[in-house]
Structure 1
Amino acid sequence: MRPDRDWRNVIPLHGPGSERRQADGTLPPDDLWNPARIVDEAPAPLRSLVLDLLGAMGVDQAAVEEIRRSLDLTDPSPGEPEQMGAAVSVLRAAVERAAVLGASPEITRIRHDCLDAACVAWADDTLERQATAQRRFLRDVSHDIRSPLNSILFLADALRSRHSGDLNSVQSRQVDVLFMASVTLVKLVNDLIDFSHLDSDADIQVASSPFSVESVVDDVQSLMGPLLAYHEVSFDVRRRETNPRKGDSQILNRVLLNLVSNAVQALGEGGKVRLEVWDGPTGTLEVSVTDNGAGADIDRIQAALRAALVGEALTVTEGWTHGLGLSISARLVAAAGGTLDAEAGETGGTRLLLSLPFGVL
């Protein structure tokens, strides 16, 4: 504390009239709340945070900067929870001290309310900074991992294609395992990168261009070929819709790949996956992906899909492989104005239902 400094000359709080003293030489009750004095009396490590909170409580920003210059304070740092708690305690004590010395109950209540609001804003800002840092770290690490994984995938594909010579049956099986493990890891890394970008629906650009649903389905069937063969799962496609549509074919392609991939990986050898496409009653594009597995807890899947829409990661539910792919699918579908739901299959297993507002041309 610096008792020799006249803080009332550093920052008048209520206009020119706040410079007055009462007849007995004491400060008027309203002048007992002096931000400059509060900051100066705070422990040195907390002064920047206390000043930052005062600004959030409504103290004029020009006054805040004047105090910062007068006390030669650095710009406020985000602060750890323990430091912020101590800074809040300093301000709580200052509010109560002013109340004891004459500040009105109404003014005291308003100051406490403003401090509460400043604490909430700080907490929200801290959570957002942490989430941003986590997403950035996840994206950077995923990019670093993807390059060597792509090299492994390329070499594994070359080996299984016999470009480097013939393989015996044992080697062939080993290379198949290596190839599918590489495919799975590359997909996971791609999902991590996509998930790190999906902060909100506003970040998802939804196109509106003519496309062929049949071409999208054919692409999915072709891309899923190696995975289906490796797991020895049959894939049945039933098209009841062949009209060109207007919408985002990339979203449809990505969602179908994720749903079919999840279904295949949830099954053992001899499993079956069925993809159906048809016109909805209001011109929407309707799609279902059904497997003949043991089934899953539908309530948990639906709860997980709802959680994905508010930014929570999906958890693994027994009987169905969720992973990040389904979480990304839920966000993409919602951004496109559609819905993604789950139900039990008619003869067992799990059925995912996709509805998209991609109208017929």
Structure 2
Amino acid sequence: MAFMVTSAVDTVQSGPAVLRVRGLSVSYGRLAALQGVDLDVYPGEVVGIAGDNGAGKSTLLRCICGDLGEVSGEVWLDGEPLTSRPPPGSARGIGVVWQDLVLSDNLDVASNLMLGKERRTLLMSESRFHARARAVLDDLGIPIADSTRPAWTLTAAERQLLAVAQAVSPRPRLLLLDEPTAVLSRADSAHVELLIRRFRDEGTTILLISHDVDQLFRLTRRVVVLRHGRVVAQVDPARSHPDELLALMAGHDVQSAPRRQLSRLHGLAGHLSSADPSAGLTLILSTLGAALGAQQLSLHLLDEATLRCVGSVGLTPALEDAWRSLPLYVTNGPLSRAAVESAVAVEPDVRASEALGPYARLLDEAGIASWWAVPFSLGSGATGVVSIYRSDTGSPATDELDLVNLYAGYAAAALERERLLAELTARNKVLETIRAVLQTLAGPGSLADGIGTALQTLREAVGADEIGLFGRAAGERTSRRAHAAPPGVAHSVRLASAADAALDAADADGQVRVQVVAHGGSRLVVRLSDSTVLAAEWRTRLASADERVLIEDAAHSILLALERERSELARRETTALRRSQEMQRQFLARLSHELRTPLTAIRGYASSLMQTDVTWDEASQSRFLSRISSESARLRTLVDDLLDFSRIESGVLRIRPDWVDLSLVIDAARSCLSPQAADAIEIHCAADVPAVWADHDRLEQVMMNLMDNAVRHNPPGTTVRIDVRADGPDHVVIGVVDDGVGMPSRDEKVGAMQPPLWRGATAGAGLGLSITRGIVEAHQGTLRQEPLNPGTRFLVRLPVESDALTMEPDDA
């Protein structure tokens, strides 16, 4: 119900009451002002007292204050009964603001405010007396600046505010307000209401008498209604309407039909705002049935030439099954007439009607005697029909039809909301799918894996049986680049054929083309470029418009990903080509320098010997020829290195393996060095080192390069140590360690074609380590550099025997 009525002993809150009134009765002669009034007011509660003039409101307040002596009944304040001659209200913690203000006009503001509350210290100092009064006014926000003004000079609003200040200073346990804003303007009333709210928030218990119903609803927790001196009801403002309070005050029936309907509509609106959309129509029909007193209702939507039931209440299973889908012109009943004519159609007596045909029996079995249908329009232009089935014959009244139209508006809004929600859900699905596809395609993985994942996401979103991405290179057949299907389902030949046909079509312009399959499905083919198409197939149904749009949007996203992949490949190729050209340029510059150095020396010494005007002694000639010989050997070594490097790069380096003693290889390599370099090298070979299947000369070249680099590219006095040990039964390890200035840390590709990295005074062509690495790898071994502090260590790890090395003929 929209209101709450309690008996005299019922309460809305438990716990000790600040004020308790029981059986209070007051008579003025033969006139009964109060008759057996019961009332409870709890701590911090604001309770309103409402009633017409003469209802006994002010008399009730006078009884509580002890202003009336001849009363019957009992009044308790904080659990203590009030005596028949109680002290003044303020002395008992009760503050009162009467409708007829009790102010002394001949006294000033401060004297009225402090009347009866003066302290001896205040009376001895007039300045402190007025300062105290101004502090009270300022604390309450009352705009009376001069506390010395006489009370008769104040405006009505200032007098009312002064009376409020007088009643609450000091703060009472119970505040009684009798029409505190009756003579005030709206702005001044707002100020008083602000003070009331403040007192309420601070925990003051308040009893408010007011004729302003809206004010009672704004400020109170409950309203006690007095009529002819009796408590007739208690109204909860949170669950009631001001009109109901007015009806109770006047003694009218609050259960009037308009008020019930308004309450139902308010409740329906609240429920619809929080209910699930699918339950909205059932809720509307149930509320409409309760308003009309009808048990059976249905709601149909016109879909082309079919009336489709989208909601029903109370129908029998047989009738609900028959009503689920009705051809528009199968009968001439109210439902069809209302949908066709867009007007209310009524069948006042179903049993006597001949227009219902086979449905008359179902209606009779359902206990339906009359049937009326009311059409309504939806925002999308569709037509709906609400049918009301009643157990008694007759036609609806005008107000009943108006009520149905009102509820039909709610139904139209609910249907429109459901339609918009479905569209929004579909749109969100599209956006989420596109987001997932884009996120997958832009991910860190390879594009091939990304496209496969993206197609699987797209297939699940559109409900397709199969989706594939097909491409065709110039002069080649169409191939499948990516495919998405349920687990265990292979790709369809039909889909590949459709993609092939799309690439063959001369008029294909990249637009979506729908191909209807004979067995009732559909196939979509989107041409991304002259060489790529995206194809999807639904084998048992047609693709919807939203699904087609989603396929097309995803196709554009995949096209962008493919373009990005091609751009990235082109960028990488360009970067690699630029780097290769730079490395070649640097290599040729170093090589030119290395070749020019020995040639210049040879040419200089030869020219000196060939001069006809200079006679060289035998020692000089021998020195010149020796330098020519050493530079020629250096030039030959450089040319041999270039040839070896070329063989290694082209993969034609020849290895002539045989069983090799590594200690002999290392001794032979050291003997090829200069005496100073050979003296700086220490060799330590473990006794258990086995012979290895390798090329003796190539390994000697490896060791000579490593030892020569370690000596030549380090300061004088650097010690080089050669350690040879077995690494298990199948490998040996040769370590070349120096304690010189060292080399920067490098990756496993030691000796790659790069600028020289050895930090020494002498620079070579940078081929020694590259050739060394190539020879070691040709023996199925590895070369690794490890920086030391100080120095550098190179580790050569070789297999004892490798199946990859075979003996070559001597003439090979």
**TM-score (structure 2 length as normaliser):** 0.26
RMSD (CA atoms):
5.3
Tell me by how many angstroms 1:350 deviates: 3.6
**In the alignment, which residue of structure 1 is the partner of 2:685?**
239
CA distance in 1 between counterparts of 2:625 and 2:678 reads: 16
Quick one: structure 1 residues 208 and 264, their matched pair in 2 at CA, closer, same or farther if it must change by over 3 Å? same
Q: Deviations over 1:142-196 (max 9, x none)?
A: 5997599479679989x9xxxx97436x995x88888777766665665566556
Q: Does 1:260 align with 2:260?
A: no
Tell me by how many angstroms 1:222 deviates: 2.5
Quick one: structure 1 residues 136 and 304, their matched pair in 2 at CA, closer, same or farther if it must change by over 3 Å? closer
CA distance in 2 between counterparts of 1:236 and 1:250 reads: 21
**In the alignment, which residue of structure 1 is the partner of 2:768?**
325
> Comparing 266-275 with 139-148, which one deviates more in the overlay?
139-148
> Comparing 253-262 with 175-184, which one deviates more in the overlay?
175-184
Unaligned ranges ≥5, structure 2: 1-499, 514-524, 534-548, 609-615, 803-812
CA distance in 1 between counterparts of 2:579 and 2:644 reads: 15
**In the alignment, which residue of structure 2 is the partner of 1:296?**
742
CA distance in 2 between counterparts of 1:120 and 1:197 reads: 33
CA distance in 1 between counterparts of 2:577 and 2:617 reads: 53
**In the alignment, which residue of structure 2 is the partner of 1:353?**
795
**In the alignment, which residue of structure 1 is the partner of 2:757?**
316
**In the alignment, which residue of structure 2 is the partner of 1:107?**
555
Match of 1:107, SS state, is helix
CA distance in 2 between counterparts of 1:342 and 1:320 reads: 21
Tell me by how many angstroms 1:238 deviates: 3.4
Quick one: structure 1 residues 177 and 126, their matched pair in 2 at CA, closer, same or farther if it must change by over 3 Å? same
**In the alignment, which residue of structure 2 is the partner of 1:167?**
619
CA distance in 2 between counterparts of 1:209 and 1:29 reads: 69
Quick one: structure 1 residues 327 and 108, their matched pair in 2 at CA, closer, same or farther if it must change by over 3 Å? same
Q: How does 1:133-144 map to 2 (within 5 A)?
A: 142=591
Quick one: structure 1 residues 178 and 234, their matched pair in 2 at CA, closer, same or farther if it must change by over 3 Å? farther
Tell me by how many angstroms 1:327 deviates: 4.2
Normalized per residue, the structure richer in helix is 1
Q: How does 1:73-152 map to 2 (within 5 A)?
A: 104-126=552-574, 142=591, 149=598
CA distance in 2 between counterparts of 1:359 and 1:265 reads: 33
1:234–1:272 contact (8 Å) kept in structure 2: yes
Match of 1:217, SS state, is helix
Number of equivalences:
264
The aligned amino acid for 1:333 is: V
1:191–1:324 contact (8 Å) kept in structure 2: yes
Quick one: structure 1 residues 34 and 107, their matched pair in 2 at CA, closer, same or farther if it must change by over 3 Å? closer
CA distance in 1 between counterparts of 2:622 and 2:644 reads: 34
Quick one: structure 1 residues 13 and 145, their matched pair in 2 at CA, closer, same or farther if it must change by over 3 Å? farther
CA distance in 1 between counterparts of 2:702 and 2:739 reads: 20
Tell me by how many angstroms 1:206 deviates: 5.9
Match of 1:306, SS state, is coil
**In the alignment, which residue of structure 1 is the partner of 2:782?**
338
CA distance in 2 between counterparts of 1:184 and 1:257 reads: 14
Identity %: 18
The aligned amino acid for 2:784 is: L
The aligned amino acid for 1:218 is: D
The aligned amino acid for 1:325 is: G
> Comparing 105-114 with 120-129, which one deviates more in the overlay?
120-129
CA distance in 1 between counterparts of 2:627 and 2:715 reads: 15
Tell me by how many angstroms 1:17 deviates: 5.8
Tell me by how many angstroms 1:263 deviates: 0.9
Match of 1:267, SS state, is coil
1:314–1:324 contact (8 Å) kept in structure 2: no
CA distance in 2 between counterparts of 1:319 and 1:142 reads: 18
The aligned amino acid for 1:240 is: A
1:275–1:288 contact (8 Å) kept in structure 2: yes
Unaligned ranges ≥5, structure 1: 1-11, 22-26, 36-53, 60-100
Quick one: structure 1 residues 274 and 20, their matched pair in 2 at CA, closer, same or farther if it must change by over 3 Å? closer
**In the alignment, which residue of structure 2 is the partner of 1:306?**
748
Match of 2:785, SS state, is strand
Q: Looking at both structures, which has the greater relative contact order when contacts are Cα pairs under 8 Å and sequence separation is at least 6?
A: 1
CA distance in 2 between counterparts of 1:119 and 1:330 reads: 35
Tell me by how many angstroms 1:219 deviates: 2.9
Match of 2:708, SS state, is helix
Quick one: structure 1 residues 140 and 359, their matched pair in 2 at CA, closer, same or farther if it must change by over 3 Å? same
2:731–2:798 contact (8 Å) kept in structure 1: yes
Quick one: structure 1 residues 317 and 215, their matched pair in 2 at CA, closer, same or farther if it must change by over 3 Å? closer
Q: Does 1:14 align with 2:462?
A: no
Quick one: structure 1 residues 247 and 129, their matched pair in 2 at CA, closer, same or farther if it must change by over 3 Å? same
Tell me by how many angstroms 1:133 deviates: 6.1
Q: Does 1:223 align with 2:672?
A: yes
Q: Deviations over 1:98-131 (max 9, x none)?
A: xxx9992121122222222222333444456556
Quick one: structure 1 residues 272 and 17, their matched pair in 2 at CA, closer, same or farther if it must change by over 3 Å? closer
1:135–1:196 contact (8 Å) kept in structure 2: no
Match of 1:276, SS state, is strand
Quick one: structure 1 residues 251 and 118, their matched pair in 2 at CA, closer, same or farther if it must change by over 3 Å? farther
Normalized per residue, the structure richer in strand is 2
The aligned amino acid for 1:326 is: L
1:239–1:276 contact (8 Å) kept in structure 2: yes
Tell me by how many angstroms 1:344 deviates: 3.3
Q: Deviations over 1:243-291 (max 9, x none)?
A: 5320344542232122101111133444433333333333422212233
Quick one: structure 1 residues 116 and 16, their matched pair in 2 at CA, closer, same or farther if it must change by over 3 Å? closer
Q: How does 1:23-62 map to 2 (within 5 A)?
A: 28-29=511-512
